[in-house]
Amino acid sequence: MIMDSARSMERIVNDVLDFARPIRLELKEEDVRTIIRRVYDFCTTKAEEKGVNLSLDLPAEPMPVVMDGVQLQRALVNLVNNAIEASDTGQDVVLVAAFGEKARFIRIRDHGPGMDKEALEKLFTPFITTKKGGNGLGLSSAKKIIEAHKGTIRIESQQGTGTEVIIDVPYKDKGLKGE
């Protein structure tokens, strides 16, 4: 029990330190589908344990993006895990990637209980959480990573119908180097 508590405290301290530090991106062009597949593989066990159906909807064509794949994967794992945790047994969580004119779109859709307007307004506020055992930094960190890539994140939700996270990541390097 002491070891579990120590690991939990260490994770919280590391999360706070990671959040407080500026994000340093190691940018290179990668196929965002590869990152999404890694996220899918990483999150499959959690989905299976909860009885949630995790699926992918990716285009056949490559989706090159100048990015830090490790950081983007970290943000997406957090978002997919949140969707899985919000879902009940038998519900679906879908990861979708699509082409846009100036961006690559990544969507994470769950069919959980959804959120009201008040909860949506507080989503990206650090240290505010409704989850047991959460520290309120997951969504804030994901947003910080996505914005460091000059991308955007928005969340649409309606009570009773689920939640969708929409991430737009520019597909060209728009002055990311050195920032």
Domain range annotation of the chain: 2-170
pTM above 0.75, yes or no: yes
Q: Could you write out the DSSP letters of every residue in 86-128?
A: HPPTT-EEEEEEEE-SSEEEEEEEE-S----HHHHHHTTSTT-
Long-range contacts of 142-145 (CB under 8 A, 24+ apart): 142/74, 142/75, 142/76, 142/78, 142/79, 144/19, 144/23, 145/23, 145/71, 145/72, 145/74, 145/75
pLDDT tens, residue by residue, 118-135? 887 887 776 666 666 565
Given this model, what pLDDT does residue 34 score? 96
Given this model, what pLDDT does residue 179 score? 37
Given this model, what pLDDT does residue 13 score? 67
Superfamily per CATH, domain 2-170: Histidine kinase-like ATPase, C-terminal domain (3.30.565.10)
SS3 143: helix
